C-alpha cells in the first residue's frame, strides 16, 4: 500500500464534486488549433513529457540521442504502439506488459502491499518470496487494478471558454468542475472507459485522459525481501545500489477478453502490445527512455514555497513520522506477527520520511532558494517592462509571499501536515470517521435483522481494517502522535481533547490511551464485533475514540475554513505566475509538472560525481551484494542460495562479457514517485531495466531538476532474469518472455 496510501494523503481541500452537470455542446474536436510548438531546448534529460506531443516537441532530440523507433511506433491512436505496453498500477505505480499473456513487470515495492496481504507466519512471502508454478496458483488482489491509456486530448479551450476573469476562485473552480463533469461523461462512452480531466501548469491548461481499466490483476512472482528490498531503509534513496526491486503480476480478463472483476474462470489478457526484452547489456551514454505515471512534482514552486518547505512542511513531516516509525518498529522487532502486519505501512511511511529529510538537505545544499529568486527576478523584469503585464502580473510574487507569511503566522503548514500524518500514521484516528454513518443508522429506529442488515457493510469493512492491526502497536503509535502534537504545537492550536486529557487524566497521555483502548468499541476487533451484536446509540456517541477523532478533525477543519480564502489567493497567484513565466520565456518549452498522467523521460545511461573527488560508476555487480552482506542486520541478509550462486559465478545466460552479473544501473532520466516500476527502454524500445528509485544527492529533484546530479536508479533486466531463472528457477516465466536475439 506504500504508494497508494500517499495518494489519499493529498487531501482535497475544496472538493466540488456534487455540482450539477451542465448539458452543453462541446466544441467539435476539429476546432482546436494547437499552438505551434518549437522543439524543446531544455537539456534533454530534464522533463516528463506527454507522449501525445513527442513528435512535435522531442522527437528530433530523441533521435539524435539514439532513438530508432518512429513517432508512430511510440504513440499511435489507431494502431497498437509502445504506449499500449505501459499501465498505471493501482494509481500509485507503473508496470509494463512483457508477454502476449498479460504478464507485468513492476517493482517489488509496488507489489509489496499485495505480497504482504498474502503473507502470514505460515506463508511468509515477504521473507521467502513467492513464485506461482501455474496460472491456477497466481494470487488475486482485491482492489488492485491496472489502467491503459487509450487516448488523450487537449480540452483547455472547452474549459477556459466558461471561465471569466471576474470570477472569484470559488466560482472559477465550480465552473471548471462542471465542464469537467461533462467532458468526463462524454469520454466514458457509457461506462466503457474511465476518464479523468487534469489540470496542467497550475490550472492554465486541461487535458482529458481516457483509460481502459482491468480489475483482475494477480500476483505471479516476487523475490524475497532480501533481494527485492535488499539494503532496506539504509540504502533506500541511495546509489550505489544492489536491490532486485521487481515483482511480477498478470492481467486477467473475462473469457471474451473484456475487462472484468475477479472470477475464477477469467483468462490471461491477450496483450495488444508487449515489450521485448534485451539482456545484451548496456554501455555508458546509451540512449534510455523511461515511460510511466509520475505522481507529483512542483517544479514551479517559488522561493517562498521553498522556505515554507524547509522551515515548516518538512520538519513537521519528519518529526511526527519519525516518532510514529519508532513506535511501530519496537513492536515489529519483537513479533513476527506484527512485523508482517505492519511491513507495508511502515515501508511507505519510512520511504516518505527519508525522502523529506533528503529533500530538505538537497534544497539547502543546492541553493534552490537562490535559483528560484533568480527566476523570479527575471520574471519581475519581464513584467515591469510593459504596462499591460504589470496590470496582470504585477502583484503576483508579492501576493504569493504575503500568503506564505500569513499562513506561517497562522501555523498553517505545520498543522496541515501534522493532521495528515496523524490520520495516516495511526489506524485508530481515521477509523471513527469511517463509522460516522453508524450513528444515523442507530438513530433510524431500525430493529433486529433490518438493523443488522444495515450494519453489515461496516462489519465487513471493519474486517479489512483490523487485518493489519495490532492494538498494542496502535497504542504506542497513538501515544507518539499525541505526545508529538503536545510538544511541538502551540497550545492554542491543540485540539480540545487535550483539555480533557489534562482534566480527567492529569495530562498523562499513556493513561488516557489505556483508558481509550479499554472503553472504546472502535479500537479492538473484539469490542467492535460485540458492539455490533448489541449496538447502542448512546454508547457510540460517547465513544472515546470517536471523541478523540472528532476533536482532531474539527480543529483541522476549522483551520481549513479560516485559511480557505488565503489559500485561494495562492492558487490564483501561482496560476498567474506559471502563465507569466511561460510567456516571459517563449523560447523555452516548459514541460508540465507530474500529475499521474503518462509521461516519457529520455536521457542516457550515465555516471556522476556526487562530491568533490568522488566518482560513482553507472553500474553495480553481484560482488557488491557480498560486500554489503551483514547477517546481523535484517537489511543486509543475503539468502544462502543467492550467495552460493554469486560465489560460484553461476550467472547463467545473464552474465556480461566479462562473466560478471550486473545488478543495478543509473541513467539521467527525470522521474518521481509513481514512476516506480517504469520500464527503462533502449533506442529500439526494448526493455533493459526497471526504474525504482532516485538518488540522495538530488532529493530536491521534485522541486528543481539537477542535471549534474540527478539520476534514476534502475534494476538491470539481467539481474531480474537471473533471479527468476537461477534463484527462483521459475522457467515458466522465462519461457513466456520475448527476447531480442542480439544488440543491433
Ligand atoms: N524510494 C523508492 C521510491 O519511493 C522506494 C524504495 C522502496 N525500498 C525501500 N527499501 N523502502 O520509489
> What pLDDT, on a 0 to 100 scale, did the predictor assign at position 398?
98
Whether residue 351 has its Cβ less than 6 Å from ligand 1: yes
> What pLDDT, on a 0 to 100 scale, did the predictor assign at position 461?
86
Catalytic annotation on 505?
no
Determine the atom of ligand 1 nearest the C-alpha atom of 694: 1
Whether residue 116 has its Cβ less than 6 Å from ligand 1: no
Whether residue 693 has its Cβ less than 6 Å from ligand 1: yes
Neighbour-count burial of 743, counting CB atoms closer than 10 A to its CB (0-12 exposed, 13-18 middle, 19+ buried): middle
CA dihedral sign of residues 597, 603, 607, 611 = negative
Q: Out of 109, 242, 280, 465, pick the active-site residue.
A: 109
| 276-333 tens-digit pLDDT | 999 999 999 999 999 999 999 999 999 999 999 999 999 999 999 999 999 999 999 9
Report the nearest-CA residue for atom 4 of ligand 1: 673
Instruction: Name residues of the chain where pLDDT drops below 50.
Output: 1-41
Look over the chain and give the mean of its residue pLDDT values, rounded to a whole number: 93
Crossing angle of helices 544-584 and 368-384, rounded to 10°: 50
Catalytic annotation on 45?
no
5 φ, ψ to 5°?
-65, -30
> What pLDDT, on a 0 to 100 scale, did the predictor assign at position 18?
21
Report the nearest-CA residue for atom 6 of ligand 1: 236
Whether residue 676 has its Cβ less than 6 Å from ligand 1: yes
| Long-range Cβ pairs for the range 571-575 (8 Å, 24+) | 571/169, 571/202, 571/203, 572/169, 572/399, 573/395, 573/396, 573/397, 573/399, 573/400, 573/403, 574/202, 574/300, 574/302, 574/400, 575/202, 575/203, 575/204
Q: What DSSP element (H or E) covers 418?
A: helix 412-425
Determine the atom of ligand 1 nearest the C-alpha atom of 347: 11
Interval between CA 675 and ligand 1 midpoint (Å): 11
Whether residue 673 has its Cβ less than 6 Å from ligand 1: yes
Q: Could you tell me the pTM of the whole model? A: 0.93
* CA distance linking residue 498 with residue 492, whole number of Å: 11
Catalytic annotation on 109?
yes
Report the nearest-CA residue for atom 2 of ligand 1: 693
Whether residue 347 has its Cβ less than 6 Å from ligand 1: yes
Whether residue 109 has its Cβ less than 6 Å from ligand 1: yes
> What are the structural domain ranges in the chain?
426-562
Amino acid at each position: 500500500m506504500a504508494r497508494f496510501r500517499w495518494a489519499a494523503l493529498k487531501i482535497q481541500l475544496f472538493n466540488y464534486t456534487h455540482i450539477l452537470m451542465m448539458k452543453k455542446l462541446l466544441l467539435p474536436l476539429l476546432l482546436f488549433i494547437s499552438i505551434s510548438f518549437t522543439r524543446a531546448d531544455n537539456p534533454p534529460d530534464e522533463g516528463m513529457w506527454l507522449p501525445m506531443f513527442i513528435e512535435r516537441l522531442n522527437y528530433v532530440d530523441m533521435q539524435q540521442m539514439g532513438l530508432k523507433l518512429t513517432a508512430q511506433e511510440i504513440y499511435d491512436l489507431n494502431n497498437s504502439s509502445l504506449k499500449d505496453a505501459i499501465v498505471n498500477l493501482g494509481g500509485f505505480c507503473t508496470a509494463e506488459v512483457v508477454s502476449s499473456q498479460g504478464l507485468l513487470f513492476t517493482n517489488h515495492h509496488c507489489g509489496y502491499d499485495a505480497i504482504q496481504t498474502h503473507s502470514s507466519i505460515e506463508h511468509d512471502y515477504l521473507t521467502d518470496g513467492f513464485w506461482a508454478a501455474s496460472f491456477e496458483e497466481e494470487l488475486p488482489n482485491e482492489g488492485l487494478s491496472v489502467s491503459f491509456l487509450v487516448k488523450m486530448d487537449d480540452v483547455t479551450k472547452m474549459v477556459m471558454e466558461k471561465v471569466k476573469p471576474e470570477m472569484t476562485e470559488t466560482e472559477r473552480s465550480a465552473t471548471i468542475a462542471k465542464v469537467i463533469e461533462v467532458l468526463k461523461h462524454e469520454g466514458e462512452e457509457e461506462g466503457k472507459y474511465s476518464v479523468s480531466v487534469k489540470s496542467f501548469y497550475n490550472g492554465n491548461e486541461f487535458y482529458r485522459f481516457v483509460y481502459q481499466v482491468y480489475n483482475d490483476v494477480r500476483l505471479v512472482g516476487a523475490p524475497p525481501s532480501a533481494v527485492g528490498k535488499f539494503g532496506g531503509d539504509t540504502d533506500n534513496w541511495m546509489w550505489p545500489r544492489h536491490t532486485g526491486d521487481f515483482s511480477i503480476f498478470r492481467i486477467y480478463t473475462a473469457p471474451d477478453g473484456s475487462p472484468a472483476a475477479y472470477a475464477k474462470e477469467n483468462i490471461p489478457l491477450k496483450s495488444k502490445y508487449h515489450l521485448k526484452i534485451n539482456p545484451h547489456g548496456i554501455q555508458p551514454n546509451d540512449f534510455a527512455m523511461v515511460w510511466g505515471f509520475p505522481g507529483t512534482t512542483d517544479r514551479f514552486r517559488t522561493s517562498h514555497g521553498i522556505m515554507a518547505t524547509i522551515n515548516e512542511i518538512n520538519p513537521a513531516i519528519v518529526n511526527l513520522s519519525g516518532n510514529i516509525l519508532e513506535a511501530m518498529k519496537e513492536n515489529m522487532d519483537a513479533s513476527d506477527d506484527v512485523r508482517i502486519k505492519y511491513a507495508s505501512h511502515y515501508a511507505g511511511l519510512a520511504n516518505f520520511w527519508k525522502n523529506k529529510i533528503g529533500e530538505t538537505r538537497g534544497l539547502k545544499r543546492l541553493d534552490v532558494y537562490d535559483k528560484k529568486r533568480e527566476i523570479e527576478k527575471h520574471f519581475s523584469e519581464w513584467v515591469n517592462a510593459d504596462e499591460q503585464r504589470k496590470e496582470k502580473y504585477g502583484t503576483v510574487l508579492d501576493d504569493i509571499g504575503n500568503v506564505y507569511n500569513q499562513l506561517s503566522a497562522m501555523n498553517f503548514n505545520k498543522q496541515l501536515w501534522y493532521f495528515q500524518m496523524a490520520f495516516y500514521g495511526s489506524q485508530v484516528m481515521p477509523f471513527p470517521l469511517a463509522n460516522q454513518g453508524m450513528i444515523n443508522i442507530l438513530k433510524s429506529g431500525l430493529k433486529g435483522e433490518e438493523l443488522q442488515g444495515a450494519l453489515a457493510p461496516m462489519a465487513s469493512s471493519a474486517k479489512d481494517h483490523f487485518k493489519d492491526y495490532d492494538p498494542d502497536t496502535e497504542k504506542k503509535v497513538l501515544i507518539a502522535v499525541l505526545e508529538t502534537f503536545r510538544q511541538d504545537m502551540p497550545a492554542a492550536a491543540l485540539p480540545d481533547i487535550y483539555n480533557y486529557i489534562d482534566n480527567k487524566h492529569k495530562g498523562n497521555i499513556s493513561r488516557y490511551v489505556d483508558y481509550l483502548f479499554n472503553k472504546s468499541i472502535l479500537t479492538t476487533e473484539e469490542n467492535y464485533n460485540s458492539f455490533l451484536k448489541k449496538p447502542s446509540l448512546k454508547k457510540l456517541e460517547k465513544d472515546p475514540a470517536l471523541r478523540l477523532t472528532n476533536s482532531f478533525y474539527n480543529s483541522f477543519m476549522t483551520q481549513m475554513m479560516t485559511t480557505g480564502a488565503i489559500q485561494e489567493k495562492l492558487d490564483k497567484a501561482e496560476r498567474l505566475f506559471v502563465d507569466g513565466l511561460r510567456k516571459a520565456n517563449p523560447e523555452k518549452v516548459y514541460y508540465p509538472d507530474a500529475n499521474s498522467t503518462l509521461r516519457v523521460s529520455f536521457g542516457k545511461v550515465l555516471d556522476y560525481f556526487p562530491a568533490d573527488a568522488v566518482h560513482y560508476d553507472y553500474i553495480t555487480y553481484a560482488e557488491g551484494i557480498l560486500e554489503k552482506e551483514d547477517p546481523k542486520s535484517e537489511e543486509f541478509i543475503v539468502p544462502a542460495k543467492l550467495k552460493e550462486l554469486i560465489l560460484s559465478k553461476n550467472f547463467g545466460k545473464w552474465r556480461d562479457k566479462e562473466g560478471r552479473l550486473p545488478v543495478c544501473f543509473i541513467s539521467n532520466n527525470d522521474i518521481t514517485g509513481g514512476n516506480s516500476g517504469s520500464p527503462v527502454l533502449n533506442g529500439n524500445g526494448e526493455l533493459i531495466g526497471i526504474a525504482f528509485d532516485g538518488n540522495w544527492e538530488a532529493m530536491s529533484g521534485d522541486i528543481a531538476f539537477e542535471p549534474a546530479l540527478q539520476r534514476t536508479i534502475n534494476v538491470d533486466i539481467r539481474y531480474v532474469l537471473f533471479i527468476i531463472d537461477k534463484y527462483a528457477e521459475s522457467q515458466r516465466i522465462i519461457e513466456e518472455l520475448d527476447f531480442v536475439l542480439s544488440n543491433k
